[in-house]
Amino acid sequence: MTGTQIKKVAILVADGFEQVELEVPRKTLREAGYSVDLVSPVVGSSVRGYHRSEKGDDFPVDVHLAAARAENYDALLLPGGVNNPDQLRQDSRVLDFVRHFFATGKPVAAICHGPWTLIDAGVVGGRTLTSWPSLRADLGNAGAEWTDEPVVADRGLVTSRGPQDLPAFLKKMLEVFSQGPCRNPAEAAMLTKLAELVTDIKVAMLTTRAADGALHSRPMVTGKRFERTLWFFTRADSDCNREVAEDAEVNVSYSDPSAGRYVSVAGRAKLVRDRKKAAELLTPMVRLWFPKGLDDPELALLRVTVERAEYWEAPAFNRSFLVSLAKSLFTGRPYLGEGTQHKKLTFGPAPSTGEPSTQPSTVPDGEPAAVRVESKPEPEAEPEPPSKRSPPAKQSARPTQTGHKRPTRSAHRHT
C-alpha cells in the first residue's frame, strides 16, 4: 500500500453476524496491509457470530461505537447475518456513523443482509447493488436497483449476495478500497447546503408532465431530511401518479422569499407502496390529508431520485438590498443581483454495469465538475428592433432537457 491509499477500516457489527463474512474479509484486509477495527454498539466486550442458525465464536470489540469517530476511518465493512443488521438499523448512532462514509464518498462494502442497514441510513437511493435475495423488495422500495450478480460495485459501494460470493466480493472490495473516496467533494457539500436551505420550508411545488406535454404543478408537504432520494405522500389514484407513470421526470421547487432562498431539484419519480417507510415518514401534517393514516387505502408514497439540483441564495430585503436597488434606480444601471449566490449540481447516474464511476459528472452545458458558482447573474441583452430580430425558433412540444430551459420541476414529500 502507498501513502495515499486507505489505511484504516471499520467493521461494524452487532450480535448475530454471519461469522465467515467477518473472519475472511478481516483476514484479507489485514494481509493487504490495512488496520482493521471491530466496531460495535453492544454493551459488552465481545460480539457473537453465527454459522447460519448455529452459534459461533465470540469476537472482542476493538472500539465501542460510543467512542468511535467515523472520520478516523477510511472505509467501512458491513457483514451480514439476519440478527446483526436488524439490530444495527434500529440504532440512530449506527445510522449516523454509516452516513458519514456516504457523505464523504469513502468506500463501503456490504454482503448478504448487510445492505439492510444502508436502507435505514437512507443511502441506497439511485444506486445499483445486490444482496441476499430476501432484501430485493426492501431495496427496491428504498430507491435502489437490485441485480442478481455475485458482486456489484457502484460509486464506492461494493455488495454481494452471500458467503458463496466471498471470492468475488474480496477481490472487488480490495480494488475499490484501494481507490479511496470516489465522490466529488462538491457533491457532498452541495447536499449539505441544500438540506440547510430547505430545512424550514414546509411545502414544495412538484411539477409533472402530462401525455400532451402540459406541465402540472401541485403543493407537496416536505420531509424531514434532504437526500438523494426524496419521499412524498400522495394518493395512489391521482392525476400526479398517472402522469408519473407516463413520464417519470419531475421537478420540485422550494422557496422562502423572506430569507432569499430558492431551490430547484429535478429527478425521476416512482409510485411506491411501503407501509414501513410510510410509518417512518408520517407526520401530523400529513394526517390532515389522510385522517386514517396508514390504514387509508389511498395512501401511497412518491419516491423521487434526485439527478440535478440548483439553488439561489439572495440577500434578504434588508437595508443593503434596498440601497442596491436605489442605486440602480438613480444610475439607470440594471440591478445585477449583487450578493446573490447561484450553484448547481448534476449527480451522475448509477452505472448499469455496477462498476464505480471515475469520471466527473457534467452540467448540461458541458462544464466539468459538479458545481458552478454564479455570484452575479448575467444582465439580459437589450432587445433588438423588430426589423432586425431573427424569426422565432420553432419549439418542440416537449421541454428541453437542460436544467434551466426546461420549465421548472422540483422534489421532496407530499400529502
- pLDDT at 30 (0 to 100): 96
Which amino acid is it at 202?
K
Mean pLDDT of 188-207: 80
- pLDDT at 84 (0 to 100): 95
Q: What is the pTM of this model?
A: 0.55
Adjacent-strand bridge partners of 9: 36, 75
Which amino acid is it at 347?
F
Which of the residues 112, 240, 412, 414 is marked catalytic? Answer: 112
Dihedral Cα 155, 361, 209, 233, nearest 10 deg:
40
- pLDDT at 86 (0 to 100): 94
- For CATH 2.30.110.10, the residue range(s) in the chain are 190-388
Task: Look at residues 130, 80, 74 and name the one whose alpha carbon lies nearest to residue 107.
Answer: 74
How far lies 38's CA from each of 47, 61, 83, 97, 162, in Å?
A: 9, 5, 17, 14, 20
Q: Which of 70-84, 157-171, 173-187, 268-282 has the lowest mean pLDDT?
A: 173-187
Which of the residues 51, 64, 100, 113 is marked catalytic? Answer: 113
Give the whole-angstrom CA distance, residue 222 versus residue 162.
Answer: 37
Looking at per-residue confidence, does 4 or 98 come out higher?
98
Q: Which of 152-161, 225-234, 396-405 has the lowest mean pLDDT?
A: 396-405
190-388: CATH topology is: Pnp Oxidase; Chain A (2.30.110)
- pLDDT at 405 (0 to 100): 38
Mean pLDDT of 74-97: 95
- pLDDT at 41 (0 to 100): 96
336 — pLDDT class (breaks 50, 70, 90) = low
Q: Which residues contact 228 (CB under 8 A, 6 or more apart)?
A: 123, 125, 126, 143, 191, 305, 306, 347
Give the whole-angstrom CA distance, residue 322 versus residue 343.
Answer: 24
Residues 222-267: tens digit of each pLDDT: 776 666 778 899 999 999 999 999 999 999 999 988 888 889 999 9
| Residue 43 DSSP class | S
190 — pLDDT class (breaks 50, 70, 90) = confident
Give the whole-angstrom CA distance, residue 91 versus residue 413.
Answer: 24
CB atoms within 10 A of CB 94: 23
- pLDDT at 359 (0 to 100): 28
Active site residue 113: yes
- pLDDT at 343 (0 to 100): 75
The H or E element spanning position 302 is strand 299-313
Mean pLDDT of 176-183: 81
Identify the CATH assignment for 8-182 out of 3.40.50.880, 3.40.50.850, 1.10.579.10, 3.90.920.10. 3.40.50.880
Tell me the H-state helices in 256-318: 275-281
316 — pLDDT class (breaks 50, 70, 90) = low
Task: Look at residues 130, 172, 190 and name the one whose alpha carbon lies nearest to residue 25.
Answer: 172
How far lies 232's CA from each of 255, 273, 298, 340, in Å?
A: 17, 12, 13, 30
Does 124 score more than 90 pLDDT?
no
Residue 306 near residue 229, CB atoms below 8 Å: yes
Give the whole-angstrom CA distance, residue 136 versus residue 145.
Answer: 9
Burial class (CB in 10 A: 0-12, 13-18, 19+), 149: middle
304's grid cell: 423521487
Does 151 score more than 80 pLDDT?
yes
Give the whole-angstrom CA distance, residue 198 versus residue 115.
Answer: 28
**Cα four-point dihedral sign 8, 13, 18, 19:** positive
Average of per-residue pLDDT values in the chain: 79
Residues 24-72: tens digit of each pLDDT: 999 999 999 999 999 999 998 999 999 988 999 999 999 999 999 999 9
Does 215 score more than 60 pLDDT?
yes
Q: Which of 28-37, 65-74, 156-165, 347-356 has the lowest mean pLDDT?
A: 347-356
- For CATH 3.40.50.880, the residue range(s) in the chain are 8-182
Q: Which of 51-60, 197-206, 311-320 has the lowest mean pLDDT?
A: 311-320
Does 302 score more than 60 pLDDT?
yes
Mean pLDDT of 115-135: 91
